[in-house]
């Protein structure tokens, strides 16, 4: 049994992909929340009104010592967010300008009446399609606005490498799905997000995995129009084409790294997605996001004024002693890091 809207897929493949796609979205949302809220939420949006002001402890943890330890980390987080945001904006502007410049230089023509009929069957308006002579890639969708266009190699329509009518419809229907979803803009924003959060490398892996799933979704949309066999046949036939590195941010039909998965699932084989996210990237992300979140929590904690709290943060400022020595001072921890007389620390009373 399989999804009634995609009968060529096995039930395990459908459920596995749905679960995987859901996890990607949840993971990206969690990273955004934990990485940006400590800075943007507290300082820009004012989401927190310093609820820990005047408090000295949270359970056994000394908030004063924790503040002194993580305050420099929070300042560094400010720098990372500003640098990442600047890099993302610069990259966004550069890519948009480069895309416009390259697309304007392509030798394009509009569809003929017969070709426009095929495009209409694929769900594309003729005005949204351009045929490019000598295009080194089969087809792609580009344009970062709300109305992206589809660019198709002239070789797919005429000559020895021309596709059959069903295969051409499949290719155009695949690109039509990218147009409806505005995937060029979506992918550009994902790339910008990876730039902005460069200090969390897992964002790039998750963004690329989301882009992979967009290709699979477009294949399913094309299969509903032309049939899965036509889509798989077009992929196999075009698999011999080179896959040059696109100089601009475009969504291309041919991706050699996804070819095996796309063809196998279209032919009804059981196949589970293999993401780019590795254990090391997850561990690094968890550590970075934990520290950044803690630094944001500490930032909404005001150090008590010494005059109003005579037993406030003096115990964290003993000469030659790190604040870490007082992080768990209520546990009566003794050790070489604690100064002489630390046992009399007011925070250790009660």
The per-residue pLDDT for range 203-212, each reduced to its tens digit, is 999 999 999 9
Reduced to 3 states, what is the DSSP secondary structure of residue 299?
helix
Q: Dmax over Cα atoms in the chain, in whole Å?
A: 92
pLDDT in the model for residue 307: 41
Give CA angle at 212 (28, 14), nearest 5°: 90
Average pLDDT, integer, range 299-328: 57
Reduced to 3 states, what is the DSSP secondary structure of residue 277?
coil
Residue 2 has pLDDT above 60, yes or no: no
Question: Residue 306 gets which letter from DSSP?
Answer: T
pLDDT in the model for residue 341: 43
Reduced to 3 states, what is the DSSP secondary structure of residue 132?
strand
Residue 13 has pLDDT above 90, yes or no: no
- As a whole-number percent, the residues of the chain with pLDDT over 70 amount to 77
More confident site: 321 or 123? 123
pLDDT confidence tier of residue 4, bands split at 50, 70 and 90 = low
pLDDT in the model for residue 272: 75
pLDDT confidence tier of residue 290, bands split at 50, 70 and 90 = confident
pLDDT in the model for residue 311: 46
Length of the chain: 350
pLDDT in the model for residue 304: 58
- The sign of the CA dihedral 324, 330, 335, 338 is positive
Single pTM value for the model = 0.80
pLDDT in the model for residue 323: 67
**Which of 8-12, 114-118, 165-169, 332-336 comes out lowest in average pLDDT?**
332-336
More confident site: 66 or 156? 156
Backbone φ, ψ for residue 204 (5° rounding): -65, -45
pLDDT in the model for residue 340: 43
More confident site: 51 or 231? 231
pLDDT in the model for residue 308: 46
Q: Give the chain's end-to-end CA distance (angstroms, integer).
A: 65
Residue 194 has pLDDT above 80, yes or no: yes
The model's pLDDT over 261-274, given as tens digits with 9 standing for 90+, comes to: 899 889 888 777 78
- The answer to whether the CB of 130 falls within 8 A of the CB of 149 is yes
- The answer to whether the CB of 119 falls within 8 A of the CB of 111 is yes
Residue 350 has pLDDT above 80, yes or no: no
pLDDT confidence tier of residue 312, bands split at 50, 70 and 90 = very low
């Amino acid at each position: 049994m399989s999804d009634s809207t995609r009968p060529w897929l096995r039930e395990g493949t459908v459920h596995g992909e749905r679960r995987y796609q859901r996890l990607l979205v949840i993971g990206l949302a969690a990273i955004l929340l934990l990485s940006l809220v400590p800075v943007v939420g507290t300082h820009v949006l004012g989401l927190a009104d310093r609820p820990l002001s005047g408090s000295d402890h949270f359970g056994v943890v000394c908030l004063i010592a924790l503040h002194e330890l993580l305050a420099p980390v929070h300042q560094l987080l400010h720098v990372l967010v500003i640098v990442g945001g600047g890099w993302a904006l610069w990259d966004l502007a550069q890519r948009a300008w480069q895309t416009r410049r390259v697309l304007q230089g392509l030798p394009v023509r509009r569809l003929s009446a017969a070709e426009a009929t095929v495009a209409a069957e694929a769900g594309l308006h003729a005005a949204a399609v351009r045929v490019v002579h000598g295009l080194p890639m089969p087809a792609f969708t580009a344009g970062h606005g709300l109305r992206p266009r589809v660019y198709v190699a002239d070789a797919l329509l005429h000559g020895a490498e021309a596709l059959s009518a069903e295969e051409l419809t499949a290719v155009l229907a695949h690109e039509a799905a990218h147009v409806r979803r505005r995937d060029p803009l979506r992918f550009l924003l994902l790339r910008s997000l990876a730039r902005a959060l460069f200090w969390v490398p897992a964002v790039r892996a998750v963004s690329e995995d989301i882009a992979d799933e967009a290709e699979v979704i477009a294949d399913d949309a094309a299969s509903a129009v032309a049939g899965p066999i036509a889509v798989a046949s077009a992929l196999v036939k075009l698999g011999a084409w080179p896959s040059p590195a696109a100089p601009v941010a475009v969504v291309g039909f041919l991706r050699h790294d996804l070819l095996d998965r796309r063809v196998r699932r279209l032919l009804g084989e059981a196949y589970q997605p293999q993401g780019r996210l590795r254990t090391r990237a997850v561990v690094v992300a968890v550590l970075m996001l934990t520290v950044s979140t803690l630094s944001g929590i500490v930032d909404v904690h005001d150090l008590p004024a010494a005059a109003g709290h005579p037993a406030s943060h003096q115990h964290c400022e003993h000469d030659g002693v790190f604040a870490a020595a007082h992080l768990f001072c209520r546990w009566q921890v003794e050790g070489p890091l604690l100064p002489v007389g630390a046992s009399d620390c007011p925070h250790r009373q009660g």
